[in-house]
Structure 1
């Protein structure tokens, strides 16, 4: 009986009912307007004209413009109104102002990174160019004296995450898109409670929509009662608005300022293969120890103080505060994030820079391949100039429609020389770009419109670090469990191809 009542009064059901009521009210409102049909039609058509004018004048990519233009033309009475109501690229002004102010407060403690850039430029101009873009345009600096370790799956990295959490003596910062009750989160949660009881500064940020169906109502308040400071990012409000599109998709764990984790995994049992309805869940974890962890700490502190301003000073979170010994580590790491707050698509531009800079090989692991024109053109040009471009995708998709849209790109890419492999054991969720064996990025950025344009994301650029060999070994092992696609294996009938083409038009809205 308790389970039945929990389902009846679950948050997702209540939210669904409220949204349905709003939709019903809107339909009734539009029906009542028919009493004034001539005036209403004129107003709605004028709104559609205004929407098209505004749409054409924006700086959004051509794919997004097309995705909105089609419904406006098909439904001139409602299309323009829906565009003006629901299209919003950036988060609300209040959220933007708070997050920008928090980032400005942390920025003075970020080192310049110029010496690292200059040294790298003498060795590898492609890597230096990527680093320079992230520093000068996006504000994320490179670091040396940092050990990096790459784990090829969630279950491979999770024991180390638990080990480092148990070692925490001063603070733990945790920021994840999904927290899902179960074995994985249960083990992490127990450690967090113990550390909070011991007096450590323990903070958690989770995305409210990402965790909507996985956590009980008022979970934030429950965590606060346990001594864990907690915030749900961009809390879901059951109103028809695309402000909810802007999600915190980042994965960050920082311990005492000198140890940090990121990668593709969230905190749910499927990410460590305790349970998964999509076969084996292929993901990754990356560990940093040393100076470079400050890049992850700055991301967390900027987000936390944007949501909940609590810190007046940030020096106590620097890597050396609780680790006076010098750090070691070969190569360069450069943590970075992407945000819908600005007009700089950092995640996409990092990928584009790597595609354009590749000279011999480019290997990509990504679960969602819904590409805009820039990415398609860049991949094809790289293959045409002789770069061995390889893309590994999952055999099983957790979002069927996205899988169908992704497949619509494959014939064109393959005809231009891009090789595509399908990971057979299950769902591949890792996001990796590996360029010429010398440069890589590992993080949270999917090759779809939500990641590239709407979400808060993060990644770690790696140059000349020993963990590049670990990444390469993981990619080689992934090939052994993958099948190369051919034009014959992805050939479909006329009806399926038509559906794929129609879905592709609306890809930016999916």
Structure 2
């Protein structure tokens, strides 16, 4: 944390020095005037070229007209098109090779599904979703009371590796309990890879991470904010919550790691959320998602695609593990580096295919015009449409 403060202080000192120098030379007024006119206009041109929605274009236009300098800073942090993001060439190539290597072990849509479900599954897969599989058992975990004990139990049974990734990971009772379980497995010879988002978990300091490092864990921050260039990656966040144990058991869902998610926060009180425990073939999709992010984010490790998908390792990280179940699982991933909003498109496809009911429970309801139109039409057509949102939100 101290290094981050020093880096930002240095940036402000340099910026202050430049402004002071311009002031002394008598050029400050002219430079600021030109910048406040030319730069916002350039940003407005970029927004028009990107062909955004009318609402988005008008909103940014107003911000840049009335708050030109501040508006440009806000746009740099939160408004740029994610597809224009620059990537490290090496990680890009490694991720591409990883996807090619694991393609044979990933799932396809299976014909055992009913015709209407198979059509929807194939549509979602064409939108960028994963395959659908009937060889995976699933268990819904309601709230932190069920979720965290299940995750701890799975970690304690790990034999080869534990991969863990969160947007928010707190240095509190809940976070330390999982850390201690990981350290115990490390001491037993199990590999641990621990990844957290650089903004969502920016308070996760070295005092918390050092015991993991000392025990042998590999640790990576996804787009850390320790650099002054944070302004260019502020909105490129990784919100995934993934735990993979031995490539056979996986967890994902809505819960981050922290006391508030276990209803121990005085500010929020009871926390209602849902998580999912998976066991079987579909866990390979979670594993592939984690490793794709890991190769992009890892700094301290020399892991390559061959570490996980070479001839001698692929069956350790992507083992054959079929589990009997009476349902099907399909995992859809999305994020700032995706070419298309796969999750949003999958939800729209599901809404369109609905025949009897559409039930939505979400902590954040910000539907676009297309989604609202589809929900209205479904309700008017006689479908049972229900939307459940929190009475008290966290944001």
Tell me the TM-score range normalised by the shorter chain.
Answer: 0.7 to 0.9
1:316 is matched with which residue? 315
Q: Is the Cα–Cα contact under 8 Å of residues 205 and 232 in structure 1 kept in the other structure?
A: yes
TM-score, structure 1 length as denominator? 0.67
Does 1:329 find its partner at 2:314?
A: no
- Determine if the alignment matches structure 1 residue 186 to structure 2 residue 186: no
2: CA distance, partners of 1:105 / 1:176: 22
Return the alpha-carbon distance in structure 1 between the equivalents of residues 356 and 25 of structure 2: 62
What is aligned with 2:40?
Answer: 48
Between 1:80-89 and 1:62-71, the stretch displaced more is: 80-89
* Partner Cα separation in structure 2 for residue 349 and residue 34 of structure 1: 54
Residue in 2 that maps onto 1:106: 99
- Mapped to 1, the partners of 2:179 and 2:108 lie a distance apart of 40
Shift of 1:64: 2.5
1:3-33 deviations in Å (ceiling 9; x for gaps): xxxxxx7678667766766886787689789
2:276 partner SS: strand
Matched positions, count: 382
Corresponding residue of 1:65? 57
SS of corresponding position for 1:241:
helix
Shift of 1:196: 0.7
Within the candidate set 375, 379, 393, 2:375 is matched to 379
Report what 1:258 is aligned to: 248
Q: Which residue of 2 aligns with 1:243?
A: 233
Distance (Å, rounded) in 2 between the aligned partners of 1:82 and 1:379: 36
Task: Name the structure 1 match of 2:123.
Answer: 133
Provide the rounded CA distance (Å) in 2 between the counterparts of 1:20 and 1:381.
53
CA contact (8 A) 1:338 1:345 kept: yes
Provide the C-alpha distance between the structure 2 equivalents of 1:29 and 1:16, rounded to a whole number of angstroms: 20
Deviations along 1:82-113, one digit per CA (max 9) or x if unpaired, are 47744433274234762564144234323464
1:36-80 deviation line (CA, Å, top 9, x unaligned): 75676456434333322221110433332222111122245x377
In 1, Cα distance between equivalents of 2:198 and 2:75:
25
Could you say which residue in structure 2 is the equivalent of 1:152?
142
Question: 1:303-336 CA distances to partner (integer Å, 9 max, x unpaired)?
Answer: 1122235141421335536x5xx52112210122
Counterpart-to-counterpart distance in 2, 1:40 and 1:163: 59
In 2, distance between residues paired with 1:34 and 1:133?
62
Give the Cα separation in 2 of the matches to 1:284 and 1:194: 27
- Distance change >3 Å, CA 246–CA 270, structure 1 → 2: same
1:376 and 1:144 map into 2 onto residues whose CA distance is 32
Taking a change above 3 Å as real, the CA distance of residues 351 and 27 of structure 1, as seen in their structure-2 partners, is farther
Instruction: Work out the CA distance in 1 between the residues paired with 2:106 and 2:271.
Output: 39
Counterparts in 2 of 1:30 and 1:85: CA distance versus 1, 3 Å: farther
Q: 2: distance between equivalents of 1:88 and 1:115?
A: 35
Contact between 2:264 and 2:270, CA under 8 Å: does it hold in 1?
no
**Whole-Å separation in 2 of the counterparts to 1:144 and 1:103:** 27
Query: Partners in 1 of 2:260 and 2:277 — Cα distance?
Result: 20
Matched, 1:74 2:66: yes
1:292 and 2:282 correspond: yes
Name the structure 1 match of 2:334: 338
Label 1:387 to 1:15 Cα distance change in 2 as closer, same or farther (>3 A). Answer: farther
Structure 2: gaps spanning 5 or more residues: none
1:175 and 2:165 matched: yes
Query: Given the alignment, which residue of 271, 292, 298 partners 1:281?
Result: 271
Q: Corresponding residue for 2:296? A: 306
Query: Is the Cα–Cα contact under 8 Å of residues 150 and 284 in structure 1 kept in the other structure?
Result: yes
How far apart, in 2, do the equivalents of 1:307 and 1:23 lie? 29
Give the whole-Å Cα distance in 1 for the aligned partners of 2:389 and 2:255: 16
Give the aligned partner of residue 261 of structure 2: 271
Instruction: Decide whether the 8 Å contact of 1:206 with 1:232 is kept in 2.
Output: yes
User: Normalised by the size of structure 2, how large is the TM-score?
Assistant: 0.84
Trace 1:398-417 onto structure 2 (pairs within 5 A).
Answer: 398-399=394-395
Q: Check the 8 A contact 1:138/1:346 in 2, yes or no.
A: yes
Structure 1: any 5+ residue segments left out of the alignment? 1-8, 400-510
| 8 Å contact kept, 1:11–1:216 | no
- The alignment's C-alpha RMSD in Å is 3.1
Aligned partner of residue 134 in structure 2, secondary structure:
coil
